[in-house]
Chains A and B, each alone.
Chain A
Amino acid sequence: MSEYQVNEKGYYGDFGGAYIPEMLYPNVEELRQQYIAIIQSEGFKQEFDQLLRDYVGRPSPLYLAKRLSERYGANIFLKREDLNHTGAHKINNTIGQILLAERLGKRRIIAETGAGQHGVATATVCALKGLQCVVYMGAVDIERQAPNVARMKMMGAEVIAAESGSKTLKDATNEALRDWINNPVDTHYIIGSVVGPHPYPDMVARFQSIISAETRKQLQEKTGIETPDYALACVGGGSNAAGMFYHFLDEPSVKLIAVEAAGKGVYSGESAATTLLGREGVLHGSRSILMQTDDGQVIEPYSISAGLDYPGIGPQHAWLYKSGRATYASATDDEAMQAGLLLTQLEGIIPAIESAHALAQLEKMTFKGDENVVICLSGRGDKDLDNYMKYFGF
Chain B
Amino acid sequence: MNRINELFANEGNKRILSIYYTAGYPTLNSTLAIAETLEKSGADFLEIGFPYSDPVADGPVIQHSSEVALRNGMTLQVLFDQLAGLRRHISIPVLLMGYVNPVLQYGVERFCESCKAVGVDGVIVPDLPMYEYEERYQEVFEANGVSNIFLVTPQTSEERIRKIDGLSTGFIYLLSSSATTGKNLAVSEDTAAYFSRIRNLNLKNPVVVGFGISSRDAFMRATDYAAGAIVGSAFVRLLSESNYEKKIPAFIHQLKEIADGY
Contacts and interface: CB of A to CB of B under 8 A. Distances in A.
Contact of A182 (B67, B70, B101, B179): B179
Given A20-B129, A23-B57, A281-B104, A295 B178 contact: no
B103 A296 contact: yes
Interface in B88-132: 100-106, 126-129, 131-132
B180 A182 contact: yes
A184 B75 contact: no
A20 B127 contact: yes
B153 A164 contact: no
B153 A23 contact: yes
Residue from B54, B63, B128, B179 with most neighbouring chain A CB atoms (10 Å)? B54
A282 B100 contact: yes
Nearest to B57: A21
A298 B53 contact: yes
Interface residues of B, number: 39
A181 B153 CA distance: 10
Interface in B175-198: 175, 178-180, 183
B56 A181 contact: yes
Residue among B100, B129, B180 with the highest chain A CB neighbour number at 10 A = B129
Interface string A175-211: 0011001101100000000000000000000000000
A19 B129 contact: yes
A170 B55 CA distance: 12
B240 to A, nearest CB: 17
A285 interface: yes
A20 to B, nearest CB: 6
A124 interface: no
Contacts of A19: 100, 127-129, 132
Contacts of A184: 153, 155, 178
Nearest to A282: B101
Given A23-B153, A181-B57, A282-B100, A292 B127 contact: no
B56 A178 contact: yes
B152 interface: yes
10 contacts: A19-B128, A22-B153, A23-B155, A25-B155, A181-B56, A181-B179, A184-B178, A280-B104, A295-B105, A296-B76
Which 5 pairs across A and B sit closest by C-beta, in order of nearness? A296-B105, A296-B102, A21-B126, A295-B75, A184-B178
